[in-house]
Amino acid sequence: MEANEILAKAESLRNGLSTGFRDEIVKSLYTEAENIAKRAVKSTSNKKYDFDQKIDRLVTSPYAGLPIMLLLLSLIIWLTVSGANVVSGWIAVVLFGIGDYGRALFNQIGMPWWITGFIWDGVYLGLAWVVSVMLPPMMIFFPAFTFLEDLGYLPRVAFNMDWLFKKTGAHGKQSLTMAMGFGCNAAGVIATRVIDSPRERLIAILTNNFVPCNGRFPTLIMLATVFVAASFPPALTSLVAAGTVVGVVLIGVMFTFIASWILSRTVLKGEASAFTLELPPYRRPNISRILYTSIIDRTIFVLWRAMQTAAPAGALIWVLANIHLGDSNLARIIADWLNPFGLLLGLDGVILLAYIIAIPANEIVVPTMMMVYMGAGMMINGPTSSTEIFDLLVNGNGWTMLTAVNLMLFALLHNPCATTIMTIYKETKSLKWATLSVVMTLGTAFIVTFLTATIARLLGWA
Amino acid sequence: MNTTVWLITAIILIVAIFIPRVGLIAIYKTYRIARERELVEDALKHLLDREQHARQASPESLAGILNLQRTTVMKLIEDMETQGLLESRGSDVHLTTQGERWALHVVRAHRLWERYLTDEARMPLGKIHGESERREHSLTEAQLNDLDAALGHPTRDPHGDPIPTREGTLLKAEGMPLTAWQAEGPMRIVHLEDEPALAFEQILAAGLRLGQTIRILDRNPQRYLLTDGETEFRLAPAVAANVSVAALPESETSKANAISLAELTYDQKAEIVLLDEAVQGFTRRRFLDLGLTPGTVIYPELKNFFGDPRAYRVRGTLIALRKDQAAQIWVKPM
């Protein structure tokens, strides 16, 4: 037969096919596979299966399922925050030691002060700060998260939470990318690749920033300890601080749902699409694979992107703090200029300045604020005890409870960091969505803080 | 000084207006051509539709459907006649063979787009018609053949209308309007008319969908009362006329005593009978990939706090499905 004849024959045969022939093909493939499996696989015991089933009944149970999930998430966040503090200290000692040594070396060979300052107190300090604050929590959070992933627990979370996401027009797997966002929003944005519907994936990308990442936790914890917990008896401080942070996190989750709901009724209009999810059997986690994925694929990847933006930010901070006009430096002048707007939002000019400079990495918000408040020439840690911090902020710089609450809200809702914006652009390949992610979050932050400030002032609370 | 500024402004303006491909004139021309094509194609569609329903098309009916002045329509008809697309005899307008071919091309483009938007882009049914109206004018014959092949040569669009083949054969629409159906017993919805959009929205809002098996419980001049055995649907007679039904085919009788997977109680084993016809494209492939093939034994195993989704045990693996998805799988309890 000629080629054309064969094609014509195929065409005529195709027209006669019933519409269900694809189903039949898949069915026959499965039948064949089942026959092979029956011949080749011997199953001796159902122990593993029964055990899996028991765990599944527990972790998806209507009453215990959600509490278990919250408990695990709190445990991971607690492990990350408390463990990271210790490791951060070690890394800081080493990196800042190198900085001191470099500064001394430059002074010795007679470099002009501004070269030494720019390089060691600007660029290097920015880098060292971001590495020492960012690396440890990621090195704890990502392996812990990957452990749950490898174990097979995460699909059960999506299973438990899906209904809520469906109601907002989103996908159940968004609960996983949201949880990933606690580690790092950029990593959370990358994780949205598991969502196969483009519309729902975009929702997950755009709303990921509403959960606070590792870089924002220190700010929240500092504020919760200094402002909220301080008014409670000492025995309760850490508990109250932790409770406050959990409360803020839940507000973030609430905003995720609200934003998803609004998005699927406006720019990303559409119905919740098909949701099919495999719940794989539990596996013994493979430690070396966990370390590889979490350290190489996630930690190093994110850290590298952050370092690229942290160095110029460090340089900028140093320049702002060391160019003097009259008896005030550039940072102070800009902060004073921003102050009226900051006060309108229940914040102040220094906070806004810190957030503008800290677009590369939220880790440097607090040190930048401290630098301006204390009139220093480089980023500093500020006082160590909470009473001293309280004194500096409230008595020295006019903070109130409103400032603290609004700063927590602003830290939660404001625009994504540069790394995340870059990642959103790379994942969506669209300037439009990257811009929207900034406008949407920043707009929310402005509106919410403005409203709380106005209401608090009208009611005479602040 | 002043003259130089004027001169430069003038040059810039002239360039902006006259430069080929991107200049204002070029943009306007492209727009005109596209608009012209749209008008011609919409006119062809209307004529084809009239001919299929054995009704005469006239300049008046064209003016109505295209929302144009009568004089503009006469000009359009004249133009199309010179292109050999139609013939006018007296006040009647007819398609030529060439015109019919082109009209079928547009109808095919429209219905393939609808299939694509439903199956692959997973757009809600109420939105696909408008989107396809915009997209149907831009594809060439070859692109259309590629789209057809990529979708697996579908024969009907998501409303149940037949899709013309590449050779230009168009099957007759199946079934008759619900209002004309006289026989007793169950019937199958084979077509949901998507124009006017308002009536279609009402059909969707009532919960009716293609391929559903229904019975008429009661009919009177105010409303039609229908049931699928579970839920009752109410339709105004004017809307009911937009729903076409046909007798149950042989294969469907197996579905008659089947229930949907969503109705199955926990640990109640069942055998999959078939996947609903309304599930096509991406979602159907996904179901099949997960092993949800006819004849497979399945039972609900896990529920969560909200009761939706549920996890089902299939061939030893656990698969979670939302209620909406489970409702599209027909099973027979064992």
**Where do the structural domains in chain B lie, given as residue ranges?**
16-95, 176-248, 254-333
Torsion sign across C-alpha atoms A305, A306, A307, A312:
positive
Q: How far is CA B209 from CA A152, B202, B206, B245, B246, in A?
A: 37, 12, 9, 11, 14
Q: If we measure between CA atoms, which residue out of B240, B125, B246, B131 comes closest to residue B194?
A: B125
pLDDT-flagged residues of chain B (< 70): 1, 249-256
What is the chain B residue with the closest CA to A162?
B309
Minimum distance, in Å, between the CA of residue A171 and any CA atom of chain B:
11
Q: Across the beta sheet with B176-177, what order do the strands follow?
A: B176-177, B243-246, B187-192, B213-219, B224-227, B232-235
Of B124, B304, B315, the CB nearest to A62: B304
Report the length, in residues, of chain B: 334
How crowded is residue A265: how many other Cβ atoms within 10 Å of its Cβ?
12
b or e along B23-52 (b: 16 or more beta carbons within 10 Å of the residue's beta carbon)? Answer: eeeeeeeeeeeeeeebbbbbbbbbbbebee
- Residue-wise pLDDT tens digits, A336-379: 999 999 999 999 999 999 999 888 888 888 888 998 898 888 88
The CATH class of B176-248 is mainly beta
Q: If we measure between CA atoms, which residue out of A143, A204, A142, A144 comes closest to residue A173?
A: A204
Is-contact A335 A347, C-beta < 8 A? no
- Residue-wise pLDDT tens digits, A151-161: 999 999 999 99
Cα separation, A222 vs A216, whole angstroms:
10
User: What is the CATH code for B16-95?
Assistant: 1.10.10.10
Interface test with B, best of A29, A51, A58, A60 (most B CBs within 10 A): A60
Q: What is the dihedral of CA A168, A172, A176, A182, to 10 degrees?
A: 10
Q: Does A14 touch chain B (CB under 8 A)?
A: yes
pLDDT band at A239 (very low <50, low <70, confident <90, very high): confident
Cα separation, B54 vs B50, whole angstroms:
6
Higher-pLDDT residue of B143, A43 = B143
Cα separation, B279 vs B274, whole angstroms:
11
Q: Does A32 touch chain B (CB under 8 A)?
A: no
* DSSP character string of B165-178: PTT---PPPPSEEG
Q: Does A200 touch chain B (CB under 8 A)?
A: no
Torsion sign across C-alpha atoms A297, A298, A300, A305:
positive
Minimum distance, in Å, between the CA of residue A451 and any CA atom of chain B:
34
Beta bridge partners of B214: B187
Report the length, in residues, of chain A: 462
pLDDT of residue A341: 93
Provide the token pair at A309: 């933006």
Q: Across the beta sheet with B270-275, what order do the strands follow?
A: A276-279, B317-321, B310-314, B297-302, B270-275, B329-333, B259-260
Is-contact A379 A126, C-beta < 8 A? yes
Q: What are phi and psi of A426, to 5 degrees?
A: -70, -35
pLDDT of residue A439: 95
Q: What is the CA radius of gyration of chain A?
A: 27
What is the chain A residue with the closest CA to B283?
A274
pLDDT of residue B62: 84
Q: If we measure between CA atoms, which residue out of A358, A342, A357, A395 comes closest to residue A373?
A: A395
Whether B176-248 shares its CATH topology with B254-333 is answered yes
User: What is the CATH code for B254-333?
Assistant: 2.30.30.90
- Residue-wise pLDDT tens digits, A101-115: 999 999 999 888 888
- What is the residue-averaged pLDDT of chain A? 88
How crowded is residue B200: how many other Cβ atoms within 10 Å of its Cβ?
19
Kind and range of the H or E element at A408? Answer: helix A401-413
Q: Does A277 touch chain B (CB under 8 A)?
A: yes
Residue type at A135 in one-letter notation: L
pLDDT of residue A256: 96
Which residues of chain A neighbour B122 with C-beta distances below 8 Å? 197, 270, 273-274
Residues 6+ apart with CB under 8 A from B82: none
- What pTM, to 2 d.p., does this model score? 0.80
Inter-chain touch A56–B290, beta carbons under 8 Å: no
Provide the token pair at A289: 């694979």
pLDDT of residue A212: 93
Domain boundaries, chain A: 66-458
pLDDT of residue A271: 66
How crowded is residue A114: how many other Cβ atoms within 10 Å of its Cβ?
13
- Residue-wise pLDDT tens digits, A396-408: 888 998 999 999 9
Q: Does A12 touch chain B (CB under 8 A)?
A: no
pLDDT of residue A11: 76
Which residues in B have their CB inside 8 Å of a CB on A? 122-124, 152-153, 155, 165, 274-275, 277, 282-284, 286-291, 293-296, 301-309, 311, 315-322, 324-325
Asked if pLDDT for residue A98 goes beyond 60, the answer is yes
Cα separation, B176 vs B178, whole angstroms:
6
- Residue-wise pLDDT tens digits, A398-454: 899 899 999 999 999 999 998 899 999 999 999 999 999 999 999 999 999 999 999
pLDDT band at A162 (very low <50, low <70, confident <90, very high): very high
Higher-pLDDT residue of A40, B249 = A40
pLDDT of residue B252: 57
B86 in helix, strand or coil? strand
pLDDT band at A304 (very low <50, low <70, confident <90, very high): confident
Of B123, B284, B301, the CB nearest to A270: B123
pLDDT of residue B255: 63
pLDDT of residue A193: 93
Is-contact A278 B290, C-beta < 8 A? yes
pLDDT of residue A261: 94
Place of tokens 């000019």: A349
Q: Percent helix, strand and coil across chain A, each rounded to 5?
A: 75, 0, 20
Q: How far is CA A387 from CA A89, A197, A231, A401, in A?
A: 21, 51, 11, 15
b or e along B118-157 (b: 16 or more beta carbons within 10 Å of the residue's beta carbon)? Answer: bbebbbebebbbeebbebbbebeeeebeebbeebebbebb
